[in-house]
Structure 1
């Protein structure tokens, strides 16, 4: 994929997508059962990895065209970037149990991203 110069429309797509992703994450956490809060961030990150895999696969399949760039910017960098939250994930990973949960999340996230990438590449655009 080619490198594109900075433009305000690109930044606008990323910012708008980030707002959507952040609001979606906050809504899911707010609606969840507080006794399961420790699991919400890892699950959100795994779902986000899957979503980013799909976006990347679709973009690769479409080629380096303006529509593909807009898809990567809005959904990839924006929505999935705002939806996932690896800073909170890192802070949660400070004790032994959380370290095991972190490892499981990284493995599951990697598998989810791979699955999304395969699915995105195979879908019709």
Structure 2
């Protein structure tokens, strides 16, 4: 189902699509901090997990001809206390060189994988010029 994504270096997903391009938009599943082998990256580190989520998002966007400048909104979900939110946000700010697109940082109780602290979702729209 996700042959192109797997060939681009993303992990196998269990029964759902990574993304679906529709015109100038890219609809994406929330990005989780999995490395190419499907292992969770950065256990215990919201910073490392946020960076991996963004790396996976960039790989996915590039695969479909989108770039960071096409991100219109981010949602960053973080498990844990305020320090975890701050650490995840620091990674996001670094990734975008302190020019983060509109974003929402949310503290949540639990995410889908054991030891997962961060998941990042994005609204992606390419503006034709």
Normalising by structure 2, we get a TM-score of 0.30
Structure number with larger C-alpha Rg? 1
| Higher-RCO chain (CA-CA 8 Å, sequence separation at least 6) | 1
Greater share of strand residues, 1 or 2? Answer: 2
Return the TM-score normalized by structure 1. Answer: 0.31
Give 1 or 2: higher helix fraction.
1
